[in-house]
Amino acid sequence: MRVTIRLFARLRDLAGSGELTREIPGPATVHTVWRSLTTEIPSLGEYERTLSVAINAEYSRMAAAVNDGDEVAFLPPVSGG
């Protein structure tokens, strides 16, 4: 299945892009998508415990099912002032 992956803040910097399209074997969860991404870009792995995730602009959990054509977003914690 084809999914669009959106990365924000530091994750975008590490990946070199804010949006990626990948083929993911189904059935898949958000965690499946994350695991495939960290296999490709290992430096992202350290953020797993602090991520917020969304499917199609709705906050979700790592165990949520992902379908063909979905957009999966990974958002690290950010701070600012």
Residue spans per domain, the chain: 2-75
Give me the chain's average pLDDT, please.
95
CATH superfamily, region 2-75: Beta-grasp domain (3.10.20.30)
The pLDDT of residue 79 is 64
pTM of the model: 0.93
pLDDT digits (tens, 9 = 90+) for 39-64: 999 999 999 999 999 999 999 999 99
Q: What is the 3-state secondary structure (H, E, C) of 18-80?
A: CEEEEECCCCEEHHHHHHHHHHHCHHHHHHHHHCEEEECCEEECCCCEECCCCEEEEECCCCC
